[in-house]
Amino acid sequence: MKTIFDIQQYLKQFGTIIYIGDREADLDLMGTELHELYQAQLMEEKEYQIAMLILKQEMNKIRNKEL
Dump pLDDT digits (tens) for 7-30. Answer: 999 999 999 999 999 999 999 999
Superfamily name with CATH number, domain 4-61: YqgQ-like (1.10.287.760)
**3-state class (DSSP) for residue 65:** helix
Identify the pLDDT of residue 61. Answer: 95
Q: What is the DSSP letter of 15?
A: T
Identify the pLDDT of residue 66. Answer: 75
Checking if the pLDDT of 5 tops 90, the result is: yes
Domain boundaries along the sequence of the chain: 4-61
Dump pLDDT digits (tens) for 26-62. Answer: 999 999 999 999 999 999 999 999 999 999 999 999 9
Identify the pLDDT of residue 7. Answer: 98
Write 55-63 long-range contacts (CB < 8 A, 24+).
55/4, 55/7, 55/27, 55/30, 55/31, 58/4, 58/27, 59/24, 59/27, 59/28, 62/23, 62/24, 62/27, 63/24
Whether the model clears a pTM of 0.85, i.e. scores above it, the answer is: yes
**3-state class (DSSP) for residue 12:** helix
